[in-house]
Structure 1
Amino acid sequence: MQILQPPDWVRPRGYANGVVAKGSLVFTSGQLGWDGQGQFQSERYADQARQALQNIVTVLAQAGAKPEHIVRLTWYVTDRAAYLEQAKEVGQSYRELIGHFPTMSAFQVSALMVDGAKVEIEATAVIPD
């Protein structure tokens, strides 16, 4: 994987401007912050974000992919204030579970399709040839 960083651009913090990768593509559906049995263990945004990231790691493993193969994440959050207030805690979980910064987009949405869900995260990974 090659990170794309135009030389005259300010370096982004917490994401990459672009990525080039070759290999097998792996796509996850949006992962919520619930456990494998579809139960929320917490109502807190940071806890649900950590669980959603763990769910992504678990799904990717089914294809033989690892967190370092992730090239894109898309975050949907229901509460921008919680996203910002708990960013340090989420960042710690993120570094522990994912460990690198691929391309990312984040959106505040009015609600997710599952009651009680605070965050949904989609991932795209590329397993090198």
Structure 2
Amino acid sequence: MTIHLDHTIVPSRHKVASAKLLAELLGVPWSATGVGPFAPVFVNEGLTLDFKDTDEDFPVYHFCFRVSQQEFDAILARIQAAGISYRSTVRGPDDMRVSDFMGGSGIYWNQPDGHQWEMLTVSYARP
């Protein structure tokens, strides 16, 4: 059997607003009500991000999406239209620039809930 990550829980202060925003930015479906206490974002046919409200402190998680250049351009346009700040480096100021690391395109942003989201067209984690 091949192992696939099916879903993960994303802690949130406002699960519905956070799930809605991320789904709209990525251009993927979501639901205000999922199984149990979750607001799921259906990233693709095999991965769901289940946003869950919590009042507890939580760390900033990092999520990275590898997309085609065409998808990158469309998602970046939605991020820009939403007025969300982004940057070309993992840390540092929001410079509103696109990285060309590894010959591809990449950005980072921290909405919703302060989590760090990354989008790239060429993975540096895998050959």
TM-score by length of 1: 0.28
